[in-house]
Chain A
Amino acid sequence: MAPHVDALYIFLLIVTGMMALLVFVLLIFFAARYRQRPDVRAEQIEGSTALEITWSTIPFVIFMVIFAWGAVVYFKERTPPADATEVYVVAKQWMWKVEHAEGQREINELHVPVGRDVKLIMTSQDVIHSFYIPAFRIKQDVLPGRYTVEWFRATKPGVYHLFCAEYCGTQHSGMVGSIVVQEPAQYEAWMKGASTGPLSASGEKIFAELGCATCHRSDTQGRGPNLQGVFGQPVQLEDGRTVTADENYLRECILDPGSKRVKGFQPIMPTFQGLVSEEQVNALVAYIKSISAAKPAGGAKTNAHLVSPRDPMSEQAQAQPNAQPDRSQVQ
């Protein structure tokens, strides 16, 4: 992102520099040229509509160029590529907890390989924080109670600053860390280090432990909706609305099941607010996503999800021609 932002920045420096120069040169010139002299009186000028229109229109056109360019860059910043590697981030006073889909966990550090699109799915356990990597020119507030998303592709190996940019209390300035960008080989080596297994596998375990499967059955329609293939699909709600089952929707259904109930189901699900941690919610979401992405692609329904979360990250998955269309044709 940095080259795009910097290009616009330099353009703005030049344009505003010229505007400032114009104003300052005129000010200084007039101030010097028309300083008070004996016997010379000021010449009264009422104004000029033509001039007013000129110096309203020209800046406005320039403003619109800046606006449009800024908007284009912003759309790029805000639209993660569909096949980006997903990493979950949980912010709390005053640290960053990072979970990779493969199960690696880090605190105040994020390891990524060069040249890969990385999408951060972020939430906060307490107050608002902001995940800011100055070198990549990206920043996104991290809110409690919902997911926000930010993405980047690192182009040069190195260690970069990670800052919390939204004031969050006592140790706000201590909530800093590093983004470690590695060559793919090094990164793979790092990845092989200690891991508790894929995030979706932990999710599956939690899914079983909490007894979710008693209602959300995978073979047939139970007392709760079947969650196979639900992710990314439109869902018809009891109140008539239709929402897309994205990360935020899944999260809301776990923590506040009553608010957006699926059409045709009774409000019998209890809330899990306070019973599951942010990390557990992330794992559950990762699990539900895995059984959505995997079902049509892999033949073996039951354990396909164990493979799937790793797949999108590796080159083979991107190469699979049917990985993308399948996702959208689920159901």
Chain B
Amino acid sequence: MWSWLLTTDHKRIALLYLISITFFFFIGGFFALLIRLELLTPAGDLVQADTYNKIFTMHGMVMIFFFLIPSIPAVLGNFLVPMMIGAKDLAFPRINLLSWYIYVIGGVIMLHCMITGGVDTGWTFYAPFSTSFTNTKIVEAGIAIFIAGFSSILTGLNFVVTIHRMRAPGMTWSRLPLFIWAHYATSIIQLLGTPVVAVTIVLVAAERALHLGIFDPKLGGDPVLFQHLFWFYSHPAVYIMILPSMGVVTEIIACFSRKRIFGYHFVAFSSIAIAVFGFLVWAHHMFVAGISVYSALVFSFLSYAVALPSAIKVFNWTATLYKGSIRYDAPMLYAFGFLGLFTIGGLTGLFLSALGINVHVTDTYFVVAHFHYIMVGGAVMGYLGGMHFWWPKISGRLYPEGWARLAALIVFIGFNLTFFPQFILGYMGMPRRYYDYSHMPEFQVLNVLSTAGATILGVGYLLPMVYFLWSMRYGKPASDNPWNAAGLEWKTASPPPTFNFDEEPVVTWEAYNYEELDAPHKEEVPVAG
């Protein structure tokens, strides 16, 4: 027990994170289920208005700050970044452990906050509702997120330094797996963005506790200022969630089509472009919030600019399949799922960036559907794909392939059934955050479909947890490289020894050297130069 709680091994810390974020994922999922059950009928009959408002708030806060943001970086990134670049550990192993403890402290405060009353502002904390009107536990939830934010900053810091300083001999920047490039871009956002949300939370707390006039016009503040500060972090935060997932999908597609990635440099730099442009589009959440038409124009334009690198990635992934030798193991099914859902999520983003349409569909279910396609369809699909891909490496066991393919299919179908109807609901005009739509019973059919889909989706998410746990005891032992995949992490034992490699690897090959791996004379594949 103590050897786990005091470990500085990045792989063990990754597993600590895995356990804790899975715990929060199911709490957030439970709230989601309650939301869908309430919306099954137009009347507000399952829970009361205040309860519903707390449920969707906690769903958002838990899923975003305690599941999605740490998900891939803190679990898969933590486990794989050092191994992929041929390092023994992260640059600051103790800080890595510290970041997990900080996360846990934040999480415990959030749990306490939820159990003793919760918050009803929505995860967006809009002022002056949050600062002067609601009497729920804003400050406590703020403290929880503030603290958890430091965990995110420290993880980002650790990755940046590790990727700069700890690469094995021969592991040049253009030989890095694209998973690393994605994490590098993510870490930059975590480092630069997270402090801003921390400051915003402090300002909310200051206005609430000390009545300083910052956001509430009655005290001399400006409520739109809050939205600028909030989205300055919270828009790039979307890229914290999706970029690592893109990294995962890149690795999977290369492996299961046995090919190098088409346009390596374009994929790598598009990650950096997303990180940079991602900081310049925040006000596209505010086109009806009272900003000037000219600033709306600028932010609409920049939103199209940030869509471009994502489009480039999709085209490159597709082109990678061309003349490949494609296998359909579970990770690849998740990668295909990611491509489909992310494409729909991205294309509906074009609707939202079009100013004239944004006015109609913002703050409706259209937006809800759009960001779930990105953050659940994209980020969670990638996360699950990655978990399946690297599970043999992490656990040293094979999961049951048939069940895993079935789960991937169930997740894909359940997801689309849940969220596609919400696009239509949104264009019909159903606003977000309504617990009672008895004035507009015409919305019910689509809501029933959505709830049915959510039930299927729930099963799809439970299955992997069951068979992963099962495989830890009963699964077949995994070889070092069950997928015959490229990458340094597959050149060591499964699970890897404490310092990852018995001797420091020396890299003499490009990333995704599937040509050499699949060459008929396999024995001559260089292991270490």
Contact = CB atoms under 8 A, between A and B. Distances in A.
B417 to A, nearest CB: 18
Contacts of A55: 311-312, 315
B12 interface: no
A284 B321 CA distance: 68
A141 B312 contact: no
Contact of B324 (A34, A48, A76): A34
A9 B357 contact: yes
A153 B134 CA distance: 36
Interface in B277-296: 287-290, 293, 296
A13 B323 CA distance: 31
Interface in A162-201: 163-174, 176
Interface in A189-247: none
A141 B288 CA distance: 6
Contacts of B259: 42-45
B314 A66 contact: no
B89 interface: no
Interface stretch (B91-99, B199-207, B426-434, B499-507): B426-434
Interface stretch (B154-162, B241-249, B299-307): B299-307
A315 interface: no
Contacts, number: 264
A44 B321 CA distance: 10
A322 B182 CA distance: 64
A273 B216 CA distance: 14
B134 to A, nearest CB: 7
Interface string B381-407: 000000000000000000000000000
Contacts of B133: 93, 126-127, 169
A45 B323 contact: yes
A172 B223 contact: no
A168 B431 contact: no
B85 to A, nearest CB: 22
B258 A12 contact: no
Interface in B317-362: 318-319, 321-328, 336, 339-340, 343-344, 347-348, 350-351, 353-360, 362
A63 B321 contact: no
B224 interface: yes
A8 B357 contact: yes
A77 B322 CA distance: 45
A161 B429 CA distance: 9
A325 interface: no
Interface string B71-89: 0000000000000000000
Closest 4 CB pairs of A and B: A134-B429, A145-B217, A73-B356, A70-B354
Interface of A: 4-5, 8-9, 12, 16, 19-20, 23-24, 26-27, 30-31, 34-37, 40-48, 51-52, 55-56, 59-60, 63-64, 66-67, 69-78, 93, 126-128, 130, 132, 134-135, 137-141, 143-146, 148, 161, 163-174, 176, 256, 273
12 contacts: A12-B351, A26-B321, A70-B353, A71-B355, A127-B126, A128-B126, A128-B129, A144-B217, A145-B222, A167-B433, A172-B49, A173-B435
